Amino acid sequence: MREIQIGGLVPFTTIDYPGKLACVLFLVGCPLRCVYCSNPHLLSPGDGEYDPARIFEWLRTRVGRLEAVVFSGGEALMQSDVAIEYMRRVRALGFKIGLHTNGFYPDTLARATDTVDWIGLDFKATREKYPDLTGQHIAYDNMIRSLDVWLSTGKEFEVRITCDPRYVSPDDLLEIADILFARNVKNIAIQKYVPHFEDDTHKTTPAMRDAFFTNVALRDKINGMFSSVVWRE
């Protein structure tokens, strides 16, 4: 079996796994090409530059200091069973395993349900707008299948919606909330879109990006639909 490709590491975080001190491993490769991607250096296979064995030895030194290891990307599940096997080894050290995923690989996620303890799942836009945002026509349907795979486990998770005003309107956000409510999702996070590069090609203004967060009626309606709604400004 080939080696896992790791392209980045955050050694300590309190915000990437709910309630746990964690580190984050960024795996390379992603099947999507989101217009706002902040990690373009991680999208292609071959971008890995961290030695997996050395990372594993470092993780051993974190036992008792950290509680969880989060696999992010790119899309960690693009590395399929290689990623799952590494997660299994990390979990055997005693860590909880978190996964930040775009949901593109529901069948791989189904194979990882015994290994992964918590996921943060991206719900990027309505079905209609997914292809323009992600460059993939099947990304929405795959993400919904992943959502259903995870719901069937009964494990904790969070659905994240990033409100890029070019691709998500307040009405879209309500449509997405309705879909999640109908599936009995409990925890969602609504994230402000922040341009990562210093150019104006995104053609959004601070007022456009803030609009979701200053709209009291929208916030109240969505807050009333879920056990937990985190507004990440």
**Contact criterion met (CB below 8 Å) for 164 and 210:** no
CB of 74 or CB of 212, closer to ligand SF4: 74
Enter the tokens of residue 69: 């290891």
Nearest Cα residue to 136 out of 198, 183, 78 = 78
Residues contacting 51, CB < 8 A, separation 6+: none
Is residue 25 classed as helix, strand or coil in its secondary structure? strand
Nearest CB to ligand SF4, comparing residues 32 and 84: 32
Smallest separation (angstroms) from ligand SF4 to the CB of 192: 15
Letter for the amino acid at 9?
A: L
The nearer residue to ligand SF4, 37 or 225, going by C-beta atoms, is 37
Task: Please state the closest distance from residue 37 (CB atom) to ligand SF4, in A.
Answer: 3
Q: In this complex, which beta carbon is closest to ligand SF4, that of residue 28 or of residue 116?
A: 28
Q: How far is the CB of 115 from ligand SF4 (least distance, A)?
A: 21
Residues at the site binding ligand SF4, with contacts judged by CB under 6 A = 30, 32-34, 37, 39, 43, 73-75, 102
What are the helix (H) ranges across the chain? Answer: 52-62, 80-92, 106-112, 130-134, 139-151, 170-182, 206-214, 216-223
Least separation in angstroms between residue 36's CB and ligand SF4 is 7
